[in-house]
Amino acid sequence: MLRSFAVCRGTQAGDAPGAYSPVVSHLRQLSFVASNPTCVGPFPAFAEVTPGLGRRTRLGRVTNPLSAAPGAPLRLVVLVSGSGTLLQALIDAAGEPGFPARIVAVGADREGTLGVERAVGAGIPSFVVAPGTYADRAAWDAALAAAIASYSPELVVSAGFMRILGPAVLDGSRIINTHPALLPSFPGAHGVRDALAHGVRVTGTTCHWVDAGVDTGPIIDQRAVRVEPGDTEESLHERIKVEERALLVDVVRALAGQIQLDFAQVK
């Protein structure tokens, strides 16, 4: 049974609209998980601070692997929009003996992406569903859903796919995404820039289930990255990307039932 709880605090001068959005997000995620038995928890990852060790983030624990056939590799469709470095991390991992997942197709939202080139070079089937070739967003969403479904994936990975997915795709697939910040803080397209502008000392990367919002789905796992003196958006993002690639591979391993997620330490 899902237990509810209350967080009470008097309204104070200067409180911004949506100041309690992390709490609202947490309650929404609990509701989502209560009706989706393949999800993981806890959600979201609330930070713990240990003197001398910095910040740790509690990670999700996978309770129900996704692979339809016991022992069979988890079938992945990976969606890309750009250079495909996250895709390459999965391609490299899938080439290792015993990796519990197989990329059955790579999809893109435009022609000529390096991500699709990586797929072709690895002998992986690819497809392009470009929004500009459809009459409206709903038609594009339906076409993308059909293209994904044709490969019968058990999991879809949004790996730098810079489009908001519509109801046809969301209803037909279980989808994960990575984000270069510790959600629910700093969602959206500029997570690294926003973290720096806010002056945080620790940021990182999040892997989460995709829902209809922007970076609002239940959190699966997080990796923390310390902000160093003199960091620029580019230098910080490069260090986050290293963690993001490792995070994605570990999450796929966990969802395929090969490992159990545990705790992460600040890098």
36 is in an annotated binding site: no
Query: In a 3-state reduction of DSSP, which class is residue 243?
Result: helix
Nearest Cα neighbor of 157 from 260, 34, 66 is 66
Beta-sheet strands, E only, within 47-196: 47-50, 54-58, 74-80, 101-108, 126-128, 155-158, 175-179
137 is in an annotated binding site: yes
Active site residues: 179
Tell me the backbone φ, ψ of residue 26, rounded to 5 degrees. Answer: -60, -45
List of residues 6+ apart from 253 with CB closer than 8 A: 99, 100, 101, 259
162 is in an annotated binding site: yes
CB 181 within 8 A of CB 194: yes
Euclidean distance between CA atoms 213 and 76, whole angstroms: 22
Provide the 10 A C-beta neighbour count for residue 121: 10
Provide the 10 A C-beta neighbour count for residue 70: 7
164 is in an annotated binding site: yes
Euclidean distance between CA atoms 242 and 228, whole angstroms: 15
Nearest Cα neighbor of 187 from 213, 220, 214 is 214
Q: Which two tokens stand for residue 59?
A: 């990670």
Euclidean distance between CA atoms 88 and 116, whole angstroms: 10
CB 208 within 8 A of CB 176: yes
Euclidean distance between CA atoms 154 and 140, whole angstroms: 21
201 is in an annotated binding site: no
193 is in an annotated binding site: no
Residues in binding site for (6R)-10-formyltetrahydrofolate: 137, 162-165, 177
Residues in binding site: 137, 162-165, 177
